[in-house]
Structure 1
Amino acid sequence: MLKSIFRILTAALFLIFYYQTAVSQTSNPSGDIKKAPDQLIWAQTLEGSYFNEFWNYQFYFDNGMKAHIVFSVANFGSLKSPVSGVRVSVFDHNGELYQLSREYPIERLVQDKDNHRFQLHPEREVFFEGKLPHQHRIVINTSKDGVHYDIDLSLKNISQAVMLGDGKFNVDSEKIGIVAHIPYAEAAGHISINDNKKRVTGTAYMDHTFQNQTTTRLMHSGYRFVTHHDRENWDILYFMLPKNSNNNRTIGYRIVKSDNDISMIGVKRIEQLHRGRAFNTSVPRIVELRLEDDSTLRISRTEDQEKFSILSELGWLARRAARSFLGGEVIDFRGEATLQKSSHRPKQGDYNFFLVD
């Protein structure tokens, strides 16, 4: 009898220990909105056997075009040597969608802090430059698969870079840095595809995420929503759901500027998630959120415009091997959405979700 009780207690303790270690311990940083230090624009990792770092630009133009440009540095361990990279997508350039990805050896990365230039290769025109918030410029001039991209975009009236508390979000023992370097800016320049040049004006947003582990091993999914009404009125959401998250706890933030007042608050958890099809994939269609002040929000996809995965460029065997080694594949979905808060009018904007499949 005593032996049976002992076995039951041992099994119960094991299950409690297993449950506590299997779920992700997730939290946002304490503190309020803070000005982000200038030095956080530069790469913060570049060490260790694994790291992932992303500078995610989103452009929304007055003529209906959209562009997403993601600079990155990454170390995938023994799979391949560390690299820098860029992913580009241009939506509705003469009614077409163009997507590009490029990688360069990490040792060719140039971080010219005196001239405020981050360049992936000294002999390639793939860079961003300018001291924020005074000025900023993004240049992509490259070709791939017979398509030439010439992108030159300059920003002005740039909002101050901000972060929540110390900018470090917790997922188990991992510290994930997230900084909103450009919550809002006015953008102008040109986007040329195969010498078909379009002059563009509009707005831009950019955030910077850095971590010492691959996204595929840390995250289940991620969510962005951006609406830019004008310089004094905009709303930004960026949050991620870690794998095995306890009670759907998330890391991330909401930043709102309304009539010259800026506020920032953590996104606490996903309350409910309703899925729908996009590009033959099951994707969150309605995401109901709870913020750290216990208020709630709802994001609803209204139009799906793009699906993008770097691994889609690989052959079947190479893609399968990469997915196996990395623990999955990051797939981006982009389009239009609404943001709804109880007793408030819905806001129209753009979503950018990613799923780890």
Structure 2
Amino acid sequence: MAFLKNIFSILTVSGMAFCAFASDVQAPSTNIRNVDKSDFFAKNLKSAKNTEAWTYQFVFDNGTRAYVNYATIVIPASGKKIGCDISFFNLKGKKSNIGRQYPLERIKEYKDQNKISIKDEYIMEGLPGKGHRVLFTANKEDFGKFLLDITFTSANKGKVPGDGKWKIGDGYYGAAVLIPYGRVKGKIAHNSDTLEVQGYGYLEHTWQSGNPTDLAERAFNVSEATRGAYAGRLALDEDGVPFGYLIEKKGDKSNVLLPKSILENGKPYKGSKFPKTALQITWQNAADTLTLDMSKPRQKFSMLENFDGWLAKKATKVMLGGEIFFWRGRSKAADGYIYDWSITGF
């Protein structure tokens, strides 16, 4: 069925996954280290049940944005697949998106070249840092031709606690913020609309047992636009317990922050609905509070927009138990920092 050919779009909620406070969760070592080659390459391609994703967020100086995901997902009655999707916002005043899904054997790793390739049409090459490149090329009826070819010209160092892997009951979740912030340049295109762009980017790699959609009520990633003062992903489980981590950069030093509470109007934010006012985040290991206003998104994007036909959309919505939305926007805090964010959930 068509919806099975497009189900990869579920991957875009990747990274929604560990509860650092639940009694049945064992967190990784609190020894904070720089990310390395092992954090970039796949963790569980050979597993029939486990999944992972590489997620990019680009904010260009001209106001255009691009969101790219490469991920594996387990499809009922069909097995494990590899999916690729992209979403443009404000590309010459328009928004555009496309998704493709392929057999798992199409993804190849070339560790001697520090390269991951999917059909040679979707490529990640160079270890995360200065010089890292991502390529996305696709052509699909009713969606058009897409191109993104972006290279990081600078990059802050990624950080991860221990091996980045949390044990959650009988399952697990892993995460590594590979590039919290870096300047980028390159080319993007949709059909005849082509732009040379520069701006900044963010990259994370997540891996987990099963599909990520079962693991969090709501999740969001954050990247501070001026110099990467904060960057990372946080989420809430079905009980409203916050988890995840952000990297805080102060001068030449970076720290990993673990959430203690997420509040809305002074009360715990449960994550059952998208926020209506600003959220206040307190930390286990820092005294300051991070305030993020996510109440006025610039874009509201449905995962189902990547699907062909009414039947595919209806079947996928039933399978997921609802429609998954992404709210994406920018807000300025009292401290003068500018935050770009993407929050997702039913």
Q: TM-score range by the shorter chain?
A: 0.7 to 0.9
Q: Alignment partner of 2:79: what SS?
A: coil
Preserved contact between residue 24 and residue 242 of structure 1 (Cα < 8 Å): no
Q: Structure 1 residue 215: deviation in Å?
A: 2.0
The 8 Å contact of residues 154 and 182 in structure 2, kept in 1 or not, is answered as: yes
Give the greater-gyration-radius structure (CA): 1
Per-residue deviation at 1:132?
A: 2.9
User: 2: distance between equivalents of 1:187 and 1:86?
Assistant: 21
Give 5+ residue unaligned stretches, structure 1.
1-22, 276-280
The aligned counterpart of 2:237 is: 242
Choose from 105, 108, 113 the match for 1:115. Answer: 113
Please state if 1:215 is matched with 2:212. Answer: yes
Measure how far apart 1:114 and its partner are. Answer: 1.7
Q: Deviations over 1:128-162 (max 9, x none)?
A: 11123342111112112252112211112222232
How far does residue 306 in structure 1 lie from its aligned partner after superposition?
2.2
- CA distance in 1 between partners of 2:265 and 2:91 (Å): 33
Q: Is the 8 A contact 1:162 1:181 kept in 2?
A: yes
Residues 273 and 130 of structure 1, relative CA distance in 2, 3 Å threshold: farther
2:87 to 71, 89, 98: 89
2:101 aligned partner, one-letter code? E
TM-score scaled by length of structure 2: 0.83
1:308 to 278, 301, 308: 301
**More displaced, 170-179 or 64-73?**
170-179
Q: Which structure exhibits the higher relative contact order, with contacts defined as CA atoms closer than 8 Å and separated by 6 or more residues?
A: 2
Consecutive unaligned residues of structure 2, counting only runs of 5 or more, are: 1-21
Q: Which moved more, 1:51-60 or 1:290-299?
A: 290-299
Corresponding residue for residue 19 of structure 2: none
What's the TM-score, normalizing by structure 1?
0.80
Partner of 1:37: 36
Closer/same/farther in 2, CA of residues 85 and 326 from structure 1, 3 Å limit: same
CA deviation after TM superposition for structure 1 residue 331, in Å: 2.5
Aligned to 2:12: none
The CA distance in 2 between the partners of 1:307 and 1:317, in whole Å, is 22
1:322 to 316, 320, 332: 316
1:156 matches 2:156: no
What SS does the aligned partner of 1:82 have? Answer: strand
Identity of aligned residues (%): 25
1:348 matched to 2:338: yes
**Count of aligned pairs:** 317
Matches within 5 A, 1:228-267: 228-230=225-227, 234-243=229-238, 245=239, 248-267=240-259
CA displacement, residues 174-203 of structure 1 (integer Å, 9 cap, x when unaligned) = 221110111121100111221322111111
Structure 1: how far apart are the matches of 2:126 and 2:47? 29
CA RMSD of aligned residues (A): 2.6
1:188 to 2:179 alignment: no
Counterparts of 1:68 and 1:274, CA distance in 2 = 32
* Secondary structure of the structure 2 residue equivalent to 1:252: strand
Against the structure 1 CA distance between its residues 314 and 192, is the aligned structure 2 distance closer, same or farther, given a 3 Å change threshold?
Answer: closer
Q: How does 1:54-133 map to 2 (within 5 A)?
A: 54-78=53-77, 80-122=78-120, 125-133=121-129
